[in-house]
Structure 1
Amino acid sequence: SLSGDQIIQAFKGDKHRFTQLEKSRLIGAGLDQIAAMTNAVKSKSEAQKKMKAGGFYLNNTRITHHQTTLTEQDLIDGKVVILRIGKSSFYLIEAI
């Protein structure tokens, strides 16, 4: 598997799918809110609909509960998370 640094390097030049956010804003935030902050979806309600339909993934794990929050343990190597919306829309968030 890839390290957090390798994942970041793969996405870093992609302004549409790569976002850096302060770790303090990520930990404890709802995944619907994070998805909206990173423009992975247009709104929190759109993220919630994707979750209910089974089309929302955090680090390749399906998320179906709209009140799921991000924890420190979700960060790959303590620094990055990957959101997938639908079958092939990937978004990377680096915790800074």
Structure 2
Amino acid sequence: MVAINIRSLLCILGIASLGTSAAVDTADTAQAWRLTQYCNQTYTVNNGDTCWSIIATNQNKVTMGQLLCWNTDINARCSNLIPGTQVCVGVERPGPVC
């Protein structure tokens, strides 16, 4: 019987980055990140950030639904945040319909 540690198993299953950020070249990605056209306040993603930490950093002035609506490149699980990219955390009123 072959012994496989949990990290190896996660790599095999493709979920090794749970709770961590992948190393990605952000030079082109940061430019391509789409924000709503109504955005008037942004936040720069840091290593280890989650959607919840971004919301908390902005004093809970934005909901998870709004964050995902205003940043269409963030997936529903919020697992694809890339350090160095800007995310929209505030919009002009009335803003987009989410």
TM-score, length of structure 2 as denominator length:
0.33
- Higher Rg of the two aligned structures: 2
Point out the structure with the larger strand share: 1
TM-score normalised by the chain length of structure 1: 0.33
